[in-house]
Amino acid sequence: MMQSNPLALLPLVLFLALFVGSGLYFHAQSVEFAFYQVQAPVAILPAVVLAILLARGPLNQRIDTFVKGVGDSTIITMCLIYLLAGAFASVAKATGGVDATVSLGLSLIPAPLVLPGLFVITAFIATAMGTSMGTIAAVAPIAVGVADTTGLALPLCVGTVIGGAMFGDNLSIISDTTIAATRTQGCSMRDKFRMNLAIAAPAALLTLVWLFLQGESGTVPVNEDVALLPVLPYIAVLGLALAGINVMLVLFSGLLLAGLIGLLNGADYTLVNLSKDIYAGYSGMQEILLLSLLIGGLGALVASEGGLAFLSRCVDRLTRGLQQRGHERRAGELGISGAVALTNVCTANNTVAILISGQLARDVAERHKVDARRSASLLDIFSCVVQGLLPYGAQILLASSLAGLSPLALAGSIHYCLLLGLAALVAIILGRPRH
């Protein structure tokens, strides 16, 4: 077993101190776009240097560990999704898809139900697609249009989309997190889904009530002229997702269809315009792409030097202490939840967090007599809770890039993830559901 090393966590602490600390400082100075004064891909560079200096072994070996983390298949896949998501969002907006979809949605949903409707639609798409990233890429621009049209707060609308996306990511049977959680814990997807839904459903219902109350002030203008053709790319994305097609192929197909509609439907829209819009979408994803690559390398260095092993040992000690006080089941479940949550804070990737803490969670579950379905559900739930609230997590970074918002400002508007975490804690305390 890898030796634990608390000092290996220092680079992550340094990154958070520089990124969050500088943002808070400039915010206190009333500087506009406070969290963009020191960009996250720049704030992480000193942390990377520190991680390389703290690592053991020859310098070339340490750099090789960092490069392998940057080139991890999960990280590269995420980056490709970023590029396709940016291109799709850019072209769909330029060809009128966003405006048309907003108009269609607002014509079908009563004004007080705009936010709940946005949450339900996003949750449905995410469950069908099995990925929060692809869902956010498709729906976040629509949320921006809804905010502009209804007068509702932009962070609230975009936060609603992230919450719905995390709902689907947490429950979808084709989601990476579901696959990772069930495989590491040794239970079926169907059983995990049932256990998971019993915890997530109350949180979703409370979220819908909250969104209904928050959305009452919105005003929906009457627009009888709704163009349906530009909406087709979004319908195609949903249909392909329901068919179980790979998310990258889904986004690429949506991009091609949006471009084709623009070329056929707009007299002034040419291949040159399409090319520029695609590149503009790429450019809009530059920050999140760079940060994801660098976080992948930093996470690999932290893990290789025992930083994550230290967190695992701390969680293990905590569960043993609670067990001695007569709370065996609760100790195990809290330990599993804490392990994946802390790992997710360090890796900023919920699937990776589940894979890293999966074996520890299984050992804790066996020692504390926690049902495998329960441990798989808690792994998935708390990884999604943390991932959906991390200002430097992929979901918030993607949504903030598409909406032009500060990641930290957006993190405070994702009510579903907060309620999901609360519902899971209540379930642990009460021991429900049992089956």
Using one digit for the tens of pLDDT, what is the confidence trace for 6-28?
888 899 889 878 877 887 788 77
Contact predicate 129/181, CB 8 Å: no
DSSP secondary structure letters along 101-116 = HHHHHHHHS-GGGHHH
Q: Tell me the two tokens of residue 369.
A: 């007599």
Average pLDDT for residues 208-213, to the nearest whole number?
Answer: 91
Residue 1 pLDDT more than 60? Answer: no
**pLDDT higher for 194 or 346?**
194
- pLDDT of amino acid 381: 94
- Look at the chain and count its residues: 435
Q: How far apart are CA 86 and CA 95, in angstroms?
A: 14
Q: How far apart are CA 130 and CA 57, in angstroms?
A: 40
Q: What is the pLDDT of residues 291-338, one digit of tens each?
A: 778 888 888 898 888 887 787 677 667 766 665 565 677 888 888 898
pTM of the model: 0.69
Average pLDDT for residues 38-44, to the nearest whole number?
Answer: 84
Closest CA to 352 of 389, 414, 284, 299: 299
Closest CA to 98 of 148, 141, 153, 137: 141
CB-facing half-sphere around the CA of 2: CA atoms within 13 A: 17
Q: Tell me the two tokens of residue 268.
A: 């002034």
Percent of the chain with pLDDT over 70: 87
Q: What is the pLDDT of residues 242-264, one digit of tens each?
A: 576 777 888 898 899 999 998 98
- pLDDT of amino acid 145: 82
Element (DSSP H or E) covering residue 293: helix 286-304
- pLDDT of amino acid 73: 82
Provide the b/e sequence for 144-157 (b: ≥16 CB within 10 Å): bbbbebbebebbbb
- pLDDT of amino acid 159: 93
Residue 222 pLDDT more than 60? Answer: no
Q: How confident is the model at residue 174 (pLDDT cuts 50, 70, 90)?
A: low
Looking up tokens 């891909």, which residue turns up? 41
Contact predicate 70/63, CB 8 Å: no
**Number of C-beta neighbours around residue 409 at 10 A:** 19
- pLDDT of amino acid 169: 85
